[in-house]
Structure 1
């Protein structure tokens, strides 16, 4: 059972790294589904009142939208690398323990 969990953590980490790289390479900011180009500003569509404690919607530029996408990709890559390293450390630890148990 432990090896299955280890493989799932490893696969999840690899998946996060790949999705983060994909997001960095294909990131196109959008405004309500419409692709943005440099110089565009996305104006929020406010249809109701703002709830207490929620930030008021504000205009966002192409650069702000792109930065948001980029930071999401970087976060995904970092979390993926952490999971891959964690799986490797646990796997090496288990292998070392198994090797010690087999020695006379």
Structure 2
């Protein structure tokens, strides 16, 4: 899993990133080696999450994306005082297995 940052992460960003990574790792249809996660935190206890990933060929792409969006938003709300303003999931490619 690749994560790119141009500056040092805050404790909040690191915590949110960890929660998102835990959610993504639960999905067998997601190729973990080709996943990028970006976290942006605002002043009002809100965050924006962007996940770019590859999905295994044959998986229900739309179902995986929708359920992953919902799971990430729910886990962030349950584990932190933050709420996910948006959870954007982008499928970069399909991977044959």
Rg: which structure is higher? 1
Q: Whose helix proportion is higher, 1 or 2? A: 1
Give the TM-score taking structure 2 as reference length: 0.28
Where relative contact order (Cα < 8 A, 6+ residues apart) is larger, the structure is 1
Q: Whose strand proportion is higher, 1 or 2? A: 2
